[in-house]
A and B are shown apart, each in its own frame.
Chain A
């Protein structure tokens, strides 16, 4: 085991890398700002639409399936969050941990088949 201060400094380096990454992006934007031309006119600033004026709202209603898939994602992602620490320690805890995770996965599979039956993963209505 290493002293705690050392490991804290490792996370500090991660933070520094994140800041540098952000800085690189910002630096590219700023450098380009001084070098690029700026000649806007009305037609140039219209949204892209194959040469004709675009009609209707963009931020309109869209297919509800995107929303349902997101909910399914949350459920499965929480399961993954449980699986990760379990994967490291289950052998130390013993058979109990193994069995418990299998029961958990089994319950999830029931829910999964329910979702399949409700056809939420089918994007074509036929």
Chain B
């Protein structure tokens, strides 16, 4: 009993620290996005609040908390009010099992990947609830599109990771990273290049980002499923989206980029690299993927809906299946 209490206390402290740092990263990811896209489009991005606009995210948070929370008169009020909460809880609780270094994690469970995929799937409920309960045509269409898109790409996403599991023979994140460190290049990226490609495309679609941001296609659906939301409830959806981006980046880093390990080959060439703390190396890889998200948003146009469905079902799923068959065959005879 005493031990259980101890575990609870430690977990709460760890979570507070982890989430505190995470929230800071999310806040500044929004700043980084605006700044990077600004420079891609030959603008300056936020410049006014603080030096180079550095205090902009804090100003945004304060503004969003003080904004009026408008609940339109004809919505399904119960579902409308809890939908953003579901989205946020789902996105935030995935980080329970994501380790940032061999020592820094909240819980190290044996079924890490299954847990993350399952909880991310729950996030879809927040979107369908929001879209349906808003009683607005834009929100309804956005919600429908979003759910069809997310479940289509969820299959591709889940299948692309099967190749990694075959190679690592474990669902545990730390075990997967350790297994990758045995390769001279220290990554599953090269043997799993097809899987990584499928994962990358599915990751963009799962988080509703450009070029697959049809649910919130602002030129036709205004803002999609959260068009009726305002103030703090809107910001919960926004937060959930960025948390999901971080989660996907962390997943890509752990499953394909070797997590916090430095490739053995690289250490041989540059011995000083072994002094880089694992956490820093991990964060660098995560931000590499975050930059990809921003870069795509600054560069690519949006797909049409029929193209989106065709890519998901006719390209990604067959590719992922091919990857599973090839990987299992090679792994079996090796």
Contact = CB atoms under 8 A, between A and B. Distances in A.
B205 interface: no
A102 B325 contact: yes
Given A22-B85, A101-B328, A44 B70 contact: yes
B73 A45 contact: yes
A114 interface: no
Interface in A21-70: 21-22, 24-26, 28-29, 31-33, 35-40, 42, 44-49, 54, 58-59, 62, 66, 69-70
A109 B321 CA distance: 9
B93 A35 contact: no
B135 A20 contact: no
A72 B115 CA distance: 23
A10 interface: yes
A118 interface: no
B283 to A, nearest CB: 20
Contacts of A48: 136, 138, 222, 227-228
Given A18-B93, A58-B137, A91 B332 contact: yes
B47 interface: no
B39 interface: no
B325 to A, nearest CB: 7
Give the interface SS of chain B, mostly helix, strand, loop or mixed.
Answer: helix
Given A36-B66, A69-B152, A87 B162 contact: yes
Contacts of B74: 47
A122 B304 CA distance: 12
Interface residues of A, number: 64
B4 interface: yes
A12 to B, nearest CB: 6
B233 interface: yes
B109 A10 contact: yes
A35 B66 contact: yes
Contact of B162 (A17, A20, A84, A95): A84
B72 A28 contact: no
Given A36-B69, A40-B70, A124-B306, A12 B93 contact: no
B69 A105 contact: no
Contact of A24 (B19, B106, B109, B140): B19
A25 B332 contact: no
Contacts of A102: 325
Interface stretch (B253-261, B264-272, B286-294, B309-317): B309-317
A116 B228 CA distance: 37
Given A28-B235, A32-B66, A98-B329, 9 more contacts: A22-B89, A36-B66, A36-B68, A38-B68, A48-B222, A80-B162, A83-B324, A84-B162, A87-B328
12 contacts: A7-B109, A10-B109, A12-B11, A13-B96, A18-B89, A20-B15, A25-B236, A35-B66, A44-B70, A48-B138, A48-B228, A77-B151
